Each structure stands twice: as C-alpha cells, then as structure tokens.
Amino acid sequence: MEVTHAVEFLLLVLLEKLSWSDTKVVLPDANVTCIIPEDCILPCSFKPTSTVVIHWYKQQIPVHSYYYNKDQFGLQNKHFSGRTCLFNSHIPHGNASLLLRRVKVQDRGRYKCYTSTRKHNQEMFVNLEVKGQCAAMVLAPVYLGLATFTASADCFYLFAPAQLWVVERAPIQTVTITMTDEWVTCSSQNVYPVPQISWATNPPSSQHAIENSTIRTTDHKGLFTVESMVRIVGNLTSYTYLCSFKSADKTQVWTASWKNQEDLTYEEGHPVLIPCNAPQMLRNFSLTWTFTSSSEPTLILRYDNRTRHTVNQWEGQAELDQDLVLLGDGSLLLKKPNSQDHSGTYTCTFTAVNTKRIFQTNVNITVAATSVDEQSMQRSWWSTAASAVFVLFTVIVALLQCVKQNAKENRTASHRHNGTGVIEGGLLLYMDLNPSAVRVRPHGAGAHEQESSLVTGPDHCDRTLEPSPEAEQEEEPAEPAEEANEEQRDRFECNEPV
C-alpha cells in the first residue's frame, strides 16, 4: 500500500511538472483566521479554461487534489480525511477555494494552492491562523518551565516553544463506566474545563456511603482526563450505580449507569430470557448485547431503533422482540442454549444522546436432568452387571472348591476301607481282598468281639451266618461272655436281622 501511494505521488509530481507552461504566476500570500471548531474557506482563484489540475498542500503534505474532472483522494493525508472539499460547480468559473471543515489547532500553518491549465500555471499561498471563541479578557500568564499558559473563563491557552494550543470548552464526548468486585468507575477524556461529577444509587443510599474519589490529569494540550470512583455498597446486585458529568458552563450533562442483575441458572435445551429494560423511554437509541466467557467479549447483536435495523451475529440462537424493544425492553431470548457455549456473562448496553445504560447478568446453563438420569442409569446398569459377574465368579470358585474337597474326602475314605473297618449300626465291617466277602463283628463297650463270615455275593443271599474258626480261637480266653455270644450266634442262625 505504501509503495502504491509513493508511485501515485511521483506520478502526481510528474503531472504537475509536465503541466507547467512557460507562464508561471505567483500571487502574494493571503492571511486567513478561522475559529475552532467551525468550518473555514481557504481562498484560491485562477483563469479558467476547459481543463484544470488543482492541488492543495500544507508544507508538502497532500491536502486535496482535483484532476480528470473529479476529486482525487488517493494521496490525501489522513489528518484531512473527510474534512476537505472544493466547490466543484464553481471550478469552471475559476474558483479553486478549499473548504476545511471542523478546524483544529493542528490545522494552523501555510497552505499552497497550485492550479494548472493549458495556458498558465499558478501558485498561491494561504497562511491559516486558528483561535477559539473565547472572551477578550485574559488573565495574567503563568510560567511552567518551558511552557506558558493563560486562561480566561472559557479558554485555556498553552504557549509552548514550537506551537500554540488553544483549548476552548472541549465538550464531553462520552462517559465510560466499569464495575469490579469493589469499585464502580466513571471516566471521560479530552475535556476542558474539568466537569462537575456526582454519584447516586437506585434505590437511594446515603451520600456518605457513595463518597467518590476523583483523579484529574492533563495532556500536553491542556485537555483533562477525569476518573471518578465509588466503593460498592452491599452486594453487587443490590443497587444501580449512576454517575453524572456536567460541563462547567452547565450546558451539557452526560450520565452513565451500571446494574449487576441476579445470576440466572437454567437447564440446557430450554429457552432462556435475559432481562434488560431501559429505566426510561429513550429516543434515538442503540442497543448492544455482548457475551464474555473465558476470552474477550464477543458481539451477539446490535439494534438501532432509528432504522429498526438489527445486526445479529447469533442468528438462530438469540433474538429480540421487535415490538417490545421499541418500548425500551431489550431482553434477549436464547432459544436452545447449551452448557458449553452459552454459560458466561451477558452485557446489555443502551446508548442514547448523552446517556449510557449497562446491565450485566451471569448465566449458568446446566446439563439437562434427563441426561443426568440416563448417565445414572447407565452407571447403575454397569454396576449391577459387575456385581452379578462377581457373585457368579464367587459361586463358581466355591463349587470348584467343594468338588475338590469331596474328591479329597472320597480318596481318604477309599484308603480307610481298604483293609480297615467301618462302624455301621453297631457292627464293625471288614473288607478283605475278596470283594464278595465281608466280615461282620459286633461292636460294643465291654463285649467280646466275635466275627461272622457273611457271603454277600448274589448267589449266597440266604446263607446262614456261621462263626468262623478264627473267631472261636480268639474268643477262647473270654469264657464269661460265652453265653452272650451263644445267644447272638443263635440269632444269626435263625436269620434274625442284626
């Protein structure tokens, strides 16, 4: 871009030199005094022909150009952007005067008007002086190092070594209001003289409770930056805070207010209405909604009631009621918010002539209850399934242990039966190596043991038990028990059950 401008400037200079004719007219300087911040005309005239080139400069700085029968702004210095124009309908009559709008202190200086026609070229210089609309009486000067200033009731003059700044009742352009956890701050910049500042709350509170602290600083032009603060009274949402800046001549009053509203909590998926109501009927206002989460504030929408035009960056997600907003109700409707994208701080700002109203609301969008129940049920199902698997595993392990234990006991019993006795029904049974033969011996405390041979094979079921010879030999020492043994033997011989 800079290269393009440089090329255009070189072409402009070349065009100016090529357009020179043998006749060059230089006119005497003209002196013009302009009033801040009114419009001012820098005079310039030439002998008209069919075509003309016009260039205005301020110490080689391009101010305005006209050629090819139209204005050219490609090389215009940004300081003059949007502030200059020619009287195009009068150019064919030889009028090349420049209209300079909203004259500033920085506009003072020497200007050159260059005109070129087919017959001759011309240069004319205009010395521009600026001053404020101030009273004639000026107080005695006060010296501050290298700079000197004097002041009257309405104006402030600062005489620096290189230039003169004339400050005349610089009006209040805007008032900015901010709020933290402890302080509410109102500020305004580039103001002269220092405005009167007052604070109030709604509902009202004592003036002692909202006593303000004000800081005033000046820049190199003598303009003031004013910052006033009051401490938060009670909870953040208890009051609306209002600050008022009144100019020294009482012709201008700027007000700003801040209200922290109660936090809102809603489930996601359900519509959410964030309230924002102007405290009074406003005319020619604009409404702005912004959203702040973890990053810088982002614009949601902007509405202008003069044109009834809305710029909505959250189209389909948020909207205003077009009928209610005309009455000062700028509440924002979130259609289907979710917890991830729409939880944060919402700021609503009404801006009108010399007034600003700000409402701030923290909104928390929670996960829907149905989703929580589904997650709970899913966790419960998994927990139940895990418990069932654990119980089943425990039962299987227990069964395996029982099977192993039974197998071990069976093996132990098998070893005991092989050549040893088992007591059953008062008889001691013996198994010898012949699986078809069982020895039976009565078992009792203090009784003599006597064995009988019993054939258990299928072909000897009705056989009478008879005492074996070995039993008789073993029972010989026990003669006193012989009668009892004979009784028992008789019972066996009569096939009586044991």
Residue 283 has pLDDT above 50, yes or no: yes
Give the position of tokens 């509410």.
Answer: 184
Query: Which residues fall within 8 angstroms of residue 364, CB to CB, at 6 or more apart?
Result: 263, 264, 265, 266, 343
Backbone angles phi, psi at 158, to 5 degrees: -125, 115
pLDDT of residue 205: 87
Model confidence over 375-399: pLDDT tens digits?
A: 666 777 777 888 888 888 888 888 8
Residue 214 has pLDDT above 90, yes or no: yes
- Span 251-273, mean pLDDT? 93
Q: Rounded mean pLDDT of the chain?
A: 77
User: Which of residues 309 and 450 earns the better pLDDT score?
Assistant: 309
Q: Are 241 and 258 in contact (CB under 8 A)?
A: yes
User: Which of residues 12 and 123 earns the better pLDDT score?
Assistant: 123
Q: Are 117 and 46 in contact (CB under 8 A)?
A: yes
Confidence of residue 250 (pLDDT cuts 50, 70, 90): confident
pTM: 0.48
The Cα–Cα gap between 10 and 122 comes to 20
Please provide the distance, in angstroms rounded to a whole number, between the alpha carbons at the two ends of the chain: 128
Q: Are 331 and 271 in contact (CB under 8 A)?
A: no
CA distances, 69 to each of 51, 63, 88, 92, 100 (Å): 8, 17, 9, 10, 20
Query: Taking the CB of residue 466, how many other CB atoms lie within 10 A of it?
Result: 13
User: Which of residues 59 and 15 earns the better pLDDT score?
Assistant: 59
393 conformational bin, left if phi > 0, alpha if psi -120 to 50, beta if neither: alpha
Residue 429 has pLDDT above 60, yes or no: no
pLDDT of residue 23: 60
212: its two tokens: 């303000």
- Span 467-471, mean pLDDT? 47
pLDDT of residue 380: 72
469 conformational bin, left if phi > 0, alpha if psi -120 to 50, beta if neither: alpha
Beta strands in 171-279 (DSSP E): 176-179, 183-191, 196-202, 213-218, 224-231, 240-246, 253-260, 264-267, 272-274
Backbone angles phi, psi at 298, to 5 degrees: -115, 145
389: its two tokens: 């698997």
pLDDT of residue 433: 43
- Span 125-137, mean pLDDT? 71
pLDDT of residue 382: 77
Residue 496 has pLDDT above 80, yes or no: no
The Cα–Cα gap between 42 and 103 comes to 12
